[in-house]
Amino acid sequence: MTDGPALASSTERALIDRIRARLDAPPPWLRVGPGDDAAVVDPERNLCDVVTTDVCVEGVHFDRAFVPPDAIGHRALAVNLSDLAAMGAKPRLATLSLVLPPSLDLEVFDAVLDGFLALARVHRTTIVGGNLSRSPGPLVVDVTAIGTVHRRKILRRAGARPGDAVYVSGTLGDARAGLEQCRNGVQEQTGEPLRARALRPDPRVRLGMLLGRTQTASSCMDLSDGLADALSQVAEASGVQLQIDAALLPIRPEARLWFEARGADPLRAALAGGDDYELLFTVPGRRRGRLQNVARLIAGLPLTRIGSVTRGAGVIVQRSDRTDELPAGFSHFGGG
């Protein structure tokens, strides 16, 4: 991609120094930061820790042919912050593990870091440590993120009750459409939202925190593996049935056009497309007023009612033409 020097020309120590030079001044609660055998952190009083880990692997989660390096770093943190958001947690710290092909350009290394650290700054997430290793194969970025939540404000997948309404944030299928556009070499255009959503997902941290703190949502989950998967998981964890009205699914006109032009069903894409990193959540009837307050506070991010919770099991999707029962859609591990 460039003619700059590769990682192999640097020492591990030099690479670590390159990372440390980019870090902000440590907060007072970080007693021992990067550079010792481990980091030492003062816990936050009266709050629980929320711990998640997620990995991004070249050739599986991103393709360096069309994903810019800063977007790789951004995504590696975003997917973890999205998990914290789904629990109602406030992000606090993260570790960054990089498994790096020695042939990687130093410029690419810097850009991966810059994307990671820019998002960390937005969400006030302190990098407390990490490690570097050579990779004999793909670039791997593994992140553990830790946040905090009050013990009575935890959002779980279990908790949806018959009578609750089912909501989703943002729009669905954008990331899939955007990814297809990237793969097809569609040029990025100003104001074009789909590629941006695919490349730099915006974890719904503020929404998750508000839904938890105001005790508005009875259950919550992020859409990392697509809406259909999230619906099934919440139904199973809560021991309820979710009835979804397909006509209510929020799909951008641009995404709808993209799918239709390629002979694909936009509803199917909205249900099955992963990587949207929106939140699926349920709201009891008596909390509808609180939800309006939350919606006001996060103005700009639509919250759409897409169905309701009933007794039973599984997920029912009602379409104008027919009613589908969603199959338990677990892909084979070897598959895409």
Site for a copy of itself in 20-49 (CB under 8 A): 31-32, 35-44, 47-49
Calpha distance 22→19 (Å, rounded)? 5
Report which residue type is found at 169: S
Per-residue buried b or exposed e for 169-199, using 16+ beta carbons within 10 Å of the residue's own CB: bbbbbbbbbbbbbbeeebeeeeeeebbbbbb
Cβ-based nearer residue to a copy of itself, 101 or 163? 101
Binding to a copy of itself (CB under 8 A) within 150-179 occurs at: 151, 154, 156-157
Binding letters toward a copy of itself, positions 216-255, x by CB under 8 A: ----xxx--------------x------------------
Q: Name the residue nearer to a copy of itself (CB basis): 8 or 257.
A: 8
Among 1, 4, 22, 60, binds a copy of itself (CB under 8 A): 60
Q: How far apart are CA 211 and CA 216, in angstroms?
A: 5
Helix axes 69-86, 106-122, angle to 10 degrees: 30
**Least distance in Å: CB of 49 to a copy of itself?**
5
- Tell me which residue has tokens 């020695």: 102
- Per CB under 8 A, the list member of 140, 179, 291, 315 interacting with a copy of itself is 140
Residue whose C-alpha is closest to residue 311's, from 258, 261, 244, 238: 238
Q: Kindly tell me which residue out of 19, 67, 72, 87 binds a copy of itself, with binding defined by CB under 8 A.
A: 87
Residue 248 per-residue DSSP state: G
- Candidate list 4, 24, 133, 311; residue touching a copy of itself; CB under 8 A: 133
Spell out where 58-125 has E strands: 90-100
Question: Using the rule CB under 8 A, is 9 a contact of a copy of itself?
Answer: yes
Among 26, 27, 138, 314, binds a copy of itself (CB under 8 A): 138
Alpha-carbon gap, residue 323 to 235, rounded angstroms: 17
332 near a copy of itself, judged by CB under 8 A? yes
Site for a copy of itself contains 321 (CB under 8 A): no
